[in-house]
Structure formats: structure tokens, C-alpha cells
Amino acid sequence: MQKTIEIEIGDTTIKVETHRWAKKSNGSVVVTYKDNIVLVTANMKEEPKEDQDFFPLIVDFRVNTYAAGKIPGGFFKREGKPSEREILLSRLIDRPIRPLFPENFYNDTQVIGLLLSADFSVDYDSLGIIGASAALLSSTIPFTTPLGAVKIGWKEGNFKINPGQKELKELDLIIQAAGSEKDIVMLEATGKEFSEEVFKEGLGLAKEIIANICRAQQSLINNDKIQVEEPAEFKRVYEQLKSNLESDLRNAIFLISGDDRNQKIKSIYEDILKDVQEEEIPLYKKALYKLEYDIFRRILLSEKRRTDDRGFDDIRDINIELGVLPRAHGSAVFSRGETQSLATVTLGSEEDAQRLDDLTTENAKKKFMLHYNFPPFSVGEVSFLRGAGRREIGHGNLAEKSLTNVIPNEEEFPYTIRIVSDILESNGSSSMATVCSGSLALMEAGVPIKSHVAGVAMGLVKEGDDFVILTDIAGFEDHFGDMDFKVSGTEKGITAMQMDIKIAGLSDAIIDEALERAKKARLYILDRMNRSISTPSEKLSKYAPVILSINIKTDKIRDLIGPGGKTIKDLISTYNVKINTEDDGKVTIAAPDREVAEEVIKRINELTASVEIGEVYTGKISRIEDYGIFVEILNGAVGLVHISEISHQRIKNIKDENFSIGQSVDVKVINIDRDNRVKLSKKAVEPKEFPQDR
């Protein structure tokens, strides 16, 4: 049944219409916010997936270029594989809705969001979450908790709700939050070393708006939801395994460490499953997993004990190696416990910057990039090496946002910077290890960053009102815990954070405590990093390019480029350099060493110099006439040396001077008339002789 609700957000309104379009979908909504229009659909298969032990949810968000009146770039002129931004927006929807589906729901489910019209005066990122919530609520899919979402910006004490694209660039803090009427489910934040207090104030505003959005969606809930029940045999199998294996599993989890623990648990699984009928294996696997989950959480809460016997605030051993790769422009290995990240820094020229082609940019360039790789050997597995997936893109984006605000501006450091983090070993929070290794590698490379940035992941185990917060979570705690709350920043404040949970929501008290403990941990890690290197290296690597820049007059750009680009191409090939010219006359040269760069600058100055009155030039005679000679002096500029300006003595016939075409002569510019005709003098650069009869 078609329904429409309107939600007041600040001085604007969000309109949500169910089953207006895409009516064959189980649930569909059109979300309108000013001129932003997003269509979100939700569908599921009628039968659960066989032998499934996890929820098969697919979320995709696509940004159609026609939404902003654009035609896609490239050869094919149609949308292709999802961009990084589309992947990040897909993850933004997936993360808050996933924990709100019931246990034992294993039907294939898909949520698709399409941006149909884009209005950049307000932010549309939250519309996908609101639309997904409304589409799921209006469907028969077992999703019953309304979700709201909002983006909050802050600058100089003022908060802005869903700031537009132009405003986003100027803000000191940006919070993206999603939640239910009472609790927060998902958080992201990035900014310029903001304080915990400012963040909490902004989050409070976000919660008020989210609660309003959630209340408005109550009327959309479909009363014909499918029912999800636990398999009848599950309880019997679970109780049987519990009586037989609880002691062995407890000892494996809490008395054995690292890979030995994993091997022991694996062997327990294998011993049980070898005697189980094939059709019952999925049921037994699920019961074993639930038993392992319950034992870990019960012991942690009742005995206040972590699997590696650390205190709840303890950070694993940290080890730092600098300059490990001699040919890289900067490199560092950061190890924390069994998590290890190798970060490399490569410095490039303007030409190496990433060109951005999306709805919100026009010929924009990105000069700082961080790419995250998670090879299978990092967790001791065997699989194909493929391109970056959603997880890699999400982790890399978080680390990049963490470091962006300490990167020097282009005037201070004109290089394009690329960091690559290769995870060599993983057991918890490899994205935060990437932040640390990236910061260390930047300093080792000599990039003048403002200060180190460190990151830490906080965890949570909660049953009813009883909970514990864990600092620097390892893989086991991440896997069986309820929260992954990553916070990164400098000594002055936070630069980025991201929170995902597996429960229905988090209270303010839990978030406040997690933030306070994360700050303490961050300062400890920063201290360890500063002991290894506290200021950027004084010199860049000898293998890094030398980048120098000059400014030329805009009307001289064509002289540098030359006909068909011939002049600039000759310079590039002759000196083996990269040259980039901007419309404002800025010219950047990337060369293998300073000597070559300075030689190229000298040649550019010669090519783009203007003829100046009073200057002396060496030129070549291009024409000889009875009334004087024409001399080419600078970049094709030709001036006349009148017969009266050739010598201090009177010349009766110019032929008597024996001039020849191509002959070099020194001349001085004595005038440039309003038609840009150049008048030259040869006698002005020669000593005056005593008169003689000629």
C-alpha cells in the first residue's frame, strides 16, 4: 500500500513515498530532499539459502551521472563498475542495517539505492540509509526497527545539518551518524583535530534528528512480516555439545594463544564433525559457533578476563622499524601484537595526481592517496590475489581520512603523495595499524607533516546491563564482540573515527567511556611512535624526484607549449622531466635532481621571457634592407636596427658593413611602440669611437 510521510529536518523537509515506483519490489521508496531524489528497493528470496550459517545481505548504491546532468567520461559513455565513492556509500547503508535483522534469517536479501537527481546544496549521503530503512519496514522482510541518519558539520562553534558540497570543504568536523530512536548504530567522523567534547555535542544534535526520523517511520511498518524461528533441533544439539565440549573449548580459548589456539579449536570442530551426518553438518557448525561465542563472552564478563590475559586497557606490544626499503621514498613497519602493517611512501609530481570524475567534481585532482592491501597470507590462508574489494577500500578510506588533515598544503610541499599499506599479519585492527605505519613512513620520507597520527580500535561485550569495554581489540574479540570503534588522531585531537556494532544500539554512557579510553590509548601509542621518529627527516630520499616551480605570464603559456605541444615535448624528452602548466601560469618541473630542474627552469625562462626596453640581447640577423637590419632576438621576436643605430659613425650604404643573414649581433632594445614593434640599437652596446672619415 502506498504511503507518504514528511519529516522536518531543520528548515527543510524530507519526503518518503512507499511503493510509488518499482512496485514489483517487496519494498520500495522514493526519498525526496530538496532536489535530491533517491529510489531505494528491498527484495528477498522466498526460501532460506540451503546450508547457510550467515546472513546473505547485498547492498548496492549507484550514482547515476544523469542525476547531475552529466554524461559519463571514458570511451563507453555509460556507467561501469562502481566507483570508490559508490562502494563507500553502499557500505554506509550496509553497516547500520545489518545488525538489525533477526538471528536465523538466511534468505538472500538485496537493497539497491539509485541516486536519480542530485542537489549539492544539501548532503544526500544519509538518504540511502533512510530509504533502506523505509523500504525494509514497508516490506515483508523481517526488519522492524526504524533507522534514521544525518550528517552534522561544525565550524567555529556552529553546527550545520546535512551541509552541502561547498560547505563540507570548509568544516572542522563532519559527523555521519545512523541510529534507532534511542541508540546509535553506526558512526563516522573526520576533522581537524577536534576534541571529544565537541564531538559529543555534535552527536547529541544528530541523535535528536535521528529520533525524529525514526518516529516518523513507525507508520510505514508492514504488519505481514515473515516469521523467523530457530530450528527445532538446534537447542538439542547445542546442549549436547555444551555438556561434552565446554571445558575443552574454554581451555582452548583462554589457555592457548595465537595460532595454537586456532589450531586447537579447529581440531575440536573436526573431531565432532567427522561422525556427523552430512545433512546435519551446518546445524552442528552453527551450534559449535554459538557455544564458542557464549563461552568467550561469559568468561570475559564474569571473570573479567581477556583471551591473552591483558588488562582491559592494555595495549599489545608495539614494534617499529623505519627505512626498511632502501629504494622506496619512505617506509615503515608498525607491529602491534599479531597485527603488522608495512607502509611505503611514494612521492610524485602533479602529473601523478589522481583525476576525479564524479558528480561533485570538475577536473579536480587528488594529491594524497592511501591504498590498503590485505593479502591472504596475512591470516595464513590460500586464495587468489584480486583487486581491492569493499573491505580494502573501506579500510583504506578510513586510514586516508585519519592522515589527510596533517598533510602539508601544496605551497609547502608540492608533491603528490601515495601511501600503500600492505598488511603482513592480521589479528585485529589492521586499519589502525595502517594509520600508525603511514604516519611513520611519511616522517621517514621527509614529508613535513604537522604531527604523528595514531589509531586504536575499541571493543565491547555487552549482555543486558553488564558490559566491558576493551582497548586494542584482537581478532577474537572483534569476531565475538559487539563493537568495533576505531579512533585516530594526534596529541591535539581526533582526526577520524568509525564505529560499527552488532547489537541494536549504544548508549551515550558506553560511547563516552569508549572515547575516554581511546584517548588514553592513542596518547600512549603516539609516545611510542615519537620515540622512534618525532620530526620529519631533513632530506628527501635521493630516489625521490626534485620538484621546483616558477610562475610565467599567462600570455606566455603558449610559447612554452609551442605549436602542437612541440616545445614542451622537446623539453620533456631532452631533460627526462615532467612539466605541468596551470592556467594561472604556474609551471611545475619534476626532475631526477636539482641540477636538471634548474637547467629546465633556465630554458623555460628563456622561452617565455618578454622583450624589455633597456635590455641587451644577442640575436641573429634575419633580413637586410637599405634602411637597416632586422634581428631576431628572443623567442622569435624581431626588431629593426635602423641604419642610424648601427654605428656611432654615419653610414652611407649598409652594404659597406658586410652584414650577412644568420650573423650574431648584440643589440639593445631602445623602444617598443604601441603596435609592439621593437626598435633596436647596435651602437648602444658598443664603445663610442672617435670620428673618422669613412
- Per-residue pLDDT tens digits for 95-146: 999 999 998 899 999 999 999 999 999 999 999 999 999 999 999 999 999 9
pLDDT at 527 over 90: yes
- Among 191-205, 281-295, 480-494, the range scoring the smallest mean pLDDT is 281-295
Which pLDDT value is given to residue 22?
A: 96
What is the rounded distance in angstroms from the CA atom of residue 518 to the CA atom of residue 187?
Answer: 15
Which pLDDT value is given to residue 694?
A: 40
Percent of the chain with pLDDT over 90: 64
pLDDT at 230 over 80: no
Region 596-612 average pLDDT = 86
What is the rounded distance in angstroms from the CA atom of residue 691 to the CA atom of residue 423?
Answer: 86
The pLDDT tens digits for 536-580 are 999 999 999 999 888 888 888 888 888 888 889 999 999 999 998
Confidence band, pLDDT 50/70/90 cuts, at residue 611? confident
What Å distances lie between residue 340 and 205, 377, 394, 396, CA to CA?
38, 12, 18, 15
What is the rounded distance in angstroms from the CA atom of residue 607 to the CA atom of residue 563?
Answer: 13
Region 411-433 average pLDDT = 93
Region 1-8 average pLDDT = 92
Region 48-58 average pLDDT = 83
Region 442-450 average pLDDT = 96
List the beta bridge partners of residue 663: none
The pLDDT tens digits for 341-372 are 999 999 998 888 888 777 766 667 899 999 99
Amino acid (one-letter) located at 318: I
Which pLDDT value is given to residue 499?
A: 93
The pLDDT tens digits for 140-165 are 999 999 999 999 999 988 999 999 98
What does pLDDT average to over the chain? Answer: 91
Closest CA to 588 of 418, 353, 419: 353
What is the rounded distance in angstroms from the CA atom of residue 167 to the CA atom of residue 161?
Answer: 11
pLDDT at 693 over 50: no
Percent of the chain with pLDDT over 70: 98
DSSP-derived pairing of the beta strands 158-161 and 148-155? antiparallel
Name all domains of the chain by residue range, CATH numbers in brackets. 4-220 (3.30.230.70), 232-303 (no CATH), 318-532 (3.30.230.70), 546-608 (3.30.1370.10), 616-685 (2.40.50.140)
pLDDT at 220 over 90: yes
pLDDT at 86 over 80: yes
For the chain, percent helix, then strand, then coil, each to nearest 5?
35, 30, 35
Region 597-616 average pLDDT = 86
Beta-carbon-side half-sphere exposure of residue 124 (alpha carbons within 13 Å): 27
Sign (positive or negative) of CA dihedral 402, 403, 406, 411: negative
Which pLDDT value is given to residue 363?
A: 63
Which pLDDT value is given to residue 393?
A: 93
The pLDDT tens digits for 461-519 are 999 889 999 999 998 889 899 999 999 999 999 999 999 988 888 888 899 999 999 99
Which pLDDT value is given to residue 692?
A: 52
**Ranges assigned E (strand) in 47-136:** 57-63, 109-117
